[in-house]
Amino acid sequence: MTDAVNGDGVRLSPAVCSESGSQARLVRRTDVTVYELDGEGLVFDATRGDTHRLNATAMAIWRECDGRQDAAQIAERLTDSYDVSMAAAVEHVERLLREFQERRLVYTAF
Amino acid sequence: MLSMARDDRQDVMHFQIGEVAMSLRTPLRSLRSQYLALYEDFRVPQRARNSIRIEVRPSQRSLRHRRCYRVYVDGRLRFEPTRFKELLPYVEWAVNWELARVMPQFLQLHASSMEINGQGVILPGASGSGKSTLTTGLIADGWRYLCDEFALIHSGTLELHPFPRAICVKKPAFSVMESLGFHLQKARHYHKGTKGDVVFLNPLNLRPNGIGRTCPVRYVVFPRYAAGAEPALVPISRAEAALDMHHVCFNLFGCRTLGVEVLAKLVRGASCYRLISGEIGKTCRLLRGMVEQAAQPQALSA
């Protein structure tokens, strides 16, 4: 399968990354519809017929999935907005990124 | 000979039940009279366009020498009940079955829907969550009835429309109905599949002027009955409410507009709660308090 390239020039693989370590750089899918509701998100994936709810933190992390930042970098940005330690933020971000991957809401960027 | 030709126009009756048009054709006089007892006030002289056509015929005796019946929906055989007391529930179910096909302009949720002071309230929930009992309690409390099984949401205007079908009450709720002053001793009992004995109540007989009008949705409340529990309302986020409504949507992909989009727009104008319902009087008072005060993001309790 040919890798796609997004609008920012980030090369994407549609396959879900088997590694979900903190080094993975993920990029959010742009072919899903996102409805923002009071800071939370309702994400509709028309290709799979799935609907997902992202709470405010998940939405913030989702927005940071630009294919250029790994989990540690996203966590660092989160610590600017939330009163949370870096270690806890990294753990939280990694868990959410794994969940995004399981739900196929992100691609892996190379 | 012409004089021998059977005039079967008397076998067919047409109804406009809120937004839903349907016709029932049957040679069974008892079934016609049972249906009229519930829907006489909604009878219309002519069949409407997009009307749901139900036909019920007695059929040959079955191999077990029992009479059976055939229920056709728009000419297609859908059900073959064997007992007469199952027929009316199957006719009701046949109408439900066809709604999504004939009314794609509406997003259809498995929910009770009510109107109070021009504000629409949706009570979504699976079978057994206590929707019909709560609906009847709210009618007794002065709320106006839209439907006990559907919320019909127009995909363009997002307004809630009436479908004031007969209210189906299951046997475990009979005593609650009695406590509300609705006497069921003389009511005809039917058998409805796994739900067992049920009674259908004509909503027009419950309270004068008790049928609601098309209105905007202002509240979404997910009821869950817990015997003996103190009734409580817990606010939930709009995204949570939209996702949970999506789980009880009958035509998410069959609606003229994308169902998720309708739900996302709908909840923007609504306050959303989970309701633990208990004793019916207390639960109704709690819901009345909800609509009488400005919705505040704090838990309410009875």
Q: How many CB atoms lie within 10 A of CB A47?
A: 9
Q: How far apart are CA A27 and CA A40, in angstroms?
A: 19
Give the pairing type, strands B69-73 and A25-28: unpaired
What pTM did the predictor assign? Answer: 0.86
Spatial separation of the C-alpha atoms in residues B184 and A105, rounded to whole Å: 53
What mean pLDDT do residues B12-17 have?
A: 96
Per CB-CB distance under 8 Å, the chain A contacts of B261 are 33, 35, 44
Q: Which of B58-67, B174-183, B272-281 has the highest mean pLDDT?
A: B272-281
| Chain B hits for A54, Cβ within 8 Å | 239
Among B203, B247, B238, CA closest to B219:
B238
Helix (H) / strand (E) containing B150: strand B150-154
List the one residue out of B27, B29, B26, B49 whose CA is nearest residue B37. B29
Spatial separation of the C-alpha atoms in residues B177 and B165, rounded to whole Å: 18
Tally the residues of chain A: 110
Sort out which chain B residues have CB atoms less than 8 A from A37's CB and list them: 237-239, 242, 264, 267-268
Higher-pLDDT residue of B192 and A48 is A48
User: Residue B258 and residue A38: Cβ atoms within 8 Å?
Assistant: no
pLDDT given for residue B64 in this prediction: 62
Question: Mean pLDDT, to the nearest integer, of B272-284?
Answer: 95
Q: Are the Cβ atoms of A53 and B242 closer than 8 angstroms?
A: yes
Do the bridges between strand B232-235 and strand A106-109 make them parallel or antiparallel, or are there none, so unpaired?
Answer: unpaired
- Coil, strand or helix at B212: coil
Contact B161/B106 with Cβ under 8 angstroms?
yes
Residue type, position B207, single letter = R
Give the Cα separation of B297 and A40 in Å (integer): 16
Q: Inform me whether the pLDDT recorded for A39 exceeds 60.
A: yes
Q: Which of B237, B243, B258 is nearest residue A38 as measured by Cβ atoms?
A: B237
CA separation (Å) from B55 to B49, B60, B193?
17, 16, 20
Chain A residue whose CA is closest to B268: A37
| Confidence band of A3 (pLDDT split at 50, 70, 90) | very low
ipTM (interface predicted TM): 0.78
Q: How confident is the model at residue A81 (pLDDT cuts 50, 70, 90)?
A: confident
Beta bridge mates, A51: A44
CB B114 within 8 A of CB B135: yes
- How distant is the alpha carbon of residue A90 from its chain centre? 13
Token duo for residue B90? 């199957």
Strand duo B52-58 + B20-25: pairing: parallel
Chain A residues closer than 8 Å to B240 by CB: 40, 53
Q: Which helix (H) or strand (E) holds B133?
A: helix B131-140
Residue range B124-130: mean pLDDT, rounded:
85
The tokens describing B254, both together, are: 């069959």
**Phi, psi dihedrals of residue B92, rounded to the nearest 5°:** -60, -45
Nearest CA in chain B to A44: B260
Pairing of strands B189-192, B196-201: antiparallel
Q: Which residues contact B29 (CB under 8 A, 6 or more apart)?
A: none
pLDDT score of B46 more than 60: yes
Taking an 8 Å cut-off on Cβ atoms, the answer to whether B237 and A42 are in contact is no
Counting one residue from chain A and one from chain B, the pairs whose CB atoms sit within 8 A come to 43
pLDDT tens column, A53-76: 999 999 999 999 999 999 999 999
A7 pLDDT higher than 70: no
Nearest Cα residue to B153 out of B116, B193, B88, B104 = B104
The answer to whether B233 touches B222, Cβ cutoff 8 Å, is: no
Is residue B264 scored above 60 in pLDDT? yes
Angle at A23 between CA A22 and CA A29, to 5 degrees: 90
Residues A26, A30, A32: CA angle, nearest 5 degrees: 110
**Left (φ > 0), alpha (ψ -120 to 50) or beta: where does A49 sit?**
left
Is the Cβ–Cβ distance between B210 and B90 less than 8 Å? no
Quick check: helix, strand or coil at residue B282? helix
Residue B61's pLDDT band (boundaries 50, 70, 90)?
Answer: low
